[in-house]
């Protein structure tokens, strides 16, 4: 098994690059943002609770997302590996993920961090807001999401860096160029299937 965390601020291109990685390496994509939005659209109790945080650009409580991740991992027992997108977002989530994977006798092998200058992030997210229909892609909520990222999520990079698992990749070139840089790192662990 090979498990990858795709790390980076909102708007850094994690979703887009995850799609490319999934196709090339046949990994299972787990995006907490997508899972949460699915709960919201199905009006589940979890979704209703999560929406309060998401609409304010705040992180959903750790217990909620950790539980969600745990059941998703269990649903796909024969995965070649997982790509975690938008998770872990706090140090507590990172520690919980390590425990979950340890229980499955596996681990996080690599963390790829997409690096994009902040003005470009804001421009991208506002642009996306015009077409995405996402209620959190407004200027006010975007600013809050980036603040949450610096405060709570940035420390996750240090957590993985201490284990020597973190690699920085420039994320402000073309989608293809960024993917090529990511692939260079993944190829050290896993052969492409396509």
If the CB atoms of residues 143 and 187 are measured against ligand ADP, the closer one turns out to be: 143
Return the ∠ at Cα 73 (arms to 168 and 128), rounded to 5°. 50
- Nearer to ligand ADP by Cβ, of 59 and 190: the residue is 59
Which residue in 72, 80, 91, 128 is the catalytic one?
128
- 80 labelled catalytic: no
Minimum CB separation from ligand ADP for residue 187, in Å? 25
H or E segment to which residue 152 belongs: none
CB closer to ligand ADP out of 158 and 189:
158
Residues that bind ligand ADP (CB under 6 A): 10-11, 32-33, 36, 53-54, 57-60, 65, 86-87, 89, 93, 136, 145
80, 91, 134, 165: the active-site residue: 134
SS3 80: coil
As given in the structure block, the two tokens for residue 5 are 């965390």
Catalytic residue numbers?
A: 14, 89, 128, 134, 145
């Amino acid at each position: 098994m090979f498990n990858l965390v795709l790390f980076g601020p909102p708007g850094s291109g994690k979703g887009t690059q995850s799609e490319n990685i999934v196709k090339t390496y046949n990994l299972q994509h787990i995006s907490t943002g997508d899972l949460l939005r699915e709960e919201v659209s199905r009006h589940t109790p979890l979704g209703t609770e999560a929406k309060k945080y998401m609409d304010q650009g705040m992180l959903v409580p750790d217990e909620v997302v950790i539980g969600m991740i745990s059941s998703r991992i269990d649903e796909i027992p024969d995965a070649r590996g997982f790509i975690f997108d938008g998770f872990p977002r706090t140090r507590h989530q990172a520690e919980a993920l390590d425990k979950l994977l340890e229980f499955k006798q596996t681990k996080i092998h690599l963390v790829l961090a997409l690096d994009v200058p902040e003005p470009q992030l804001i421009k991208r997210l506002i642009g996306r807001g015009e077409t995405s229909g996402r209620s959190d892609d407004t200027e006010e909520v975007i600013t809050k999401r980036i603040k949450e990222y610096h405060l709570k999520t940035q420390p996750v990079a240090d957590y993985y860096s201490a284990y020597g698992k973190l690699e920085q990749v420039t994320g402000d070139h073309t989608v293809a160029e960024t993917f090529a840089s990511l692939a260079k790192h993944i190829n050290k662990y896993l052969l492409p299937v396509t």
